[in-house]
Amino acid sequence: MKTKERVFYGAGALGKDLVYGFVAGYILFFLNDIMGIDALFLGTLFLFARAFDAFNDPIMGMIVENTRSKFGKFRPWILIGTILNASVIVLLFTVPDLSPQMLKLYVSALYILWGITYTLMDIPYWSMIPALSIDQKERENTAVVARVCAGIGFTLITVGTVPLVKLLGAGNDQKGYSLVAIGISVIFVLLIGLMVNNVKEHISVEQEKLTIKGLFHLLIQNDQLLVVMITVVCFNISMYITTTLGIYFFKYDVKNEVLYSVFAGVAGIAQILAMLSFPLLSRFLTRKKIFGLSVIASTMGYLGLYLAGQLGFFSIPFLFGSGFFIFVGLGLMNILTTAMLADTVEYGEWKLGIRSESVVFSVQTFVVKSASALSAFIVGIGLNVINFQRDQVQTLSTLNGLRFLMFLLPIFGLMASLFVYMKMYKIDSAFYARIVSEIKLKNNLEEV
């Protein structure tokens, strides 16, 4: 790949995570705390939408895989999905004056549409990585650029949303969220447009079109892909519980809502620094050791924040320092996830004889959205169980429950992800080199 291509590919990730960070980080708070929709209803809605994605995302991967055009199989869908997704986001955060029941119907329809249109764009975007290079280290470097840019986008919107809402809304938070949604949607379309115009796939394998039967055969028989799915879901649920409840923690426990934006900024910097350090770490440490370090770092951060809440020790350096450790772990995991998924493309080709980037990376889209929805469902149930009351001073038992949900529960997810990865994932550098060598040998024999 040329440096120019990496830069524009990263620009697409920045735009993509501006909108994803906005929806993932603020949709529950906006609909629950601003619009007054019950948290349990929202959690159930999010879970239902992701259950739908369990079928929708792999089908979209198959559609992309079977696409033949002069622009390649990825870029047309990236552009179409971006335009549609940007439109849905504006409508989702621009809520008309409706009755409670109609409001729920409006939000439900648009949230499901958001998931569908995000899939249209996200699957082909990440599916391009294996089609850009077959070299493992070059893929890691491309993933670093994309993930760092995505981290910048996610951080910018997480940090900037609350101040922008207050500024643009001028006392009307509902209006503020709508204007922020319009602004980031325009930026999203512009950045993806630049990426589509400047990045092209370099590896293309002609093969028969994939059928529904073949699709599910690929998903079930690629055992390493299944391992990655379980690992990432467990890890990401932990992280999304924390990011979803972060604004609640700072508003109701720390009693400084705006401080959440600064905390999110520190978290974003931690992720970016961790991702930038990944190529250096990978020279000296195996992926499994890096994974273990990420879990240890995040666990230390969680325990620090839990103790801070229990002791009422809301020192800003201590809060931000603990958050830094949590998101260092997330940053390392983001690179590992993308690299691991890319490697399962060749593993699937080696084991099953079919190369399918889009189907493999449909799993990433599904896993990320599933983790987000499952965390929102857990949070929705949790807020009801701890008797959370919006816009009121919370009782001590409610605050204790909030700290448990945000800081202790995620540790169980981290430990589960570590166990599954260490016991079941087997594509190390030596095995991957063997896989690529045997694929090349097979292809050469077929050409002869």
Domains of the chain, by residue range, sit at 3-447
Residue 141 — pLDDT band, cuts 50, 70, 90? Answer: confident
Q: What is the pLDDT of residue 1?
A: 66
DSSP conformation class of 388: -
Average pLDDT along the chain: 84
Cα(372)–Cα(241) distance, integer angstroms: 8
Contacts of 368 (CB under 8 A, 6+ apart): 232, 236
Q: Please, is 211 exposed, middle or buried when counting C-beta atoms within 10 Å of its C-beta (0-12, 13-18, 19+)?
A: exposed
pLDDT of amino acid 216: 65
pTM, full prediction: 0.68
391 vs 387, residue with greater confidence: 387
Return the pLDDT at 119: 84
Please calculate the CA angle 260-262-268 and round it to the nearest 5 degrees.
100
pLDDT tens-place string over residues 315-332: 888 888 998 999 898 888
Q: How confident is the model over 358-388, as pLDDT tens digits?
A: 667 666 667 777 777 788 788 888 888 898 8
Q: Which amino acid type is present at position 104?
A: K
pLDDT of residue 177: 93
Distance CA 257, CA 249 (A): 8
The pLDDT of 54-66, averaged and rounded, is 72
**CA distances from residue 79 to 12, 82, 122 in whole angstroms, order as listed:** 11, 5, 10
Q: What b/e string do you get for 275-308 counting C-beta neighbours within 10 Å, with b at 16 or more? A: bbbbeebbeeeebeebbebbbebbbebbebbbeb
* Tokens 């273990």, residue located: 292
Q: How far apart are CA 24 and CA 158, in angstroms?
A: 10
Distance in angstroms (rounded) separating the CA atoms of residues 130 and 112: 29
**Residue 76: CA count within 13 A, CB half-sphere:** 11
Residue 199 has pLDDT above 80, yes or no: yes
Is residue 184 within 8 Å of 22, Cβ to Cβ? yes
Q: Is the pLDDT confidence value at 288 over 80?
A: yes
Read off the tokens for 100.
């409670």
Name the most confidently modeled range: 147-156, 175-184, 214-223, 250-259.
Answer: 175-184
pLDDT at 447: 55
Question: pLDDT per residue over 160-182, tens digit each?
Answer: 888 899 899 888 889 999 999 99
Rounded to the nearest 5°, which phi and psi values hold at 36?
80, 20
DSSP 392: S
> What size, in residues, is the chain?
448
- pLDDT of 411 higher than 80: yes
Window from 40-54, 172-186, 266-280 with minimum mean pLDDT: 40-54
pLDDT (average), residues 80-91: 94
Q: Report residue 2's pLDDT band, with 50, 70 and 90 as the boundaries.
A: confident
Of the listed ranges 187-196, 247-256, 335-344, 416-425, the one predicted with least confidence? 335-344
CATH number 1.10.150.120 is the correct assignment for the domain at 3-447: no
> pLDDT value at position 298?
92
Q: In this predicted structure, what is the pLDDT of residue 184?
A: 94
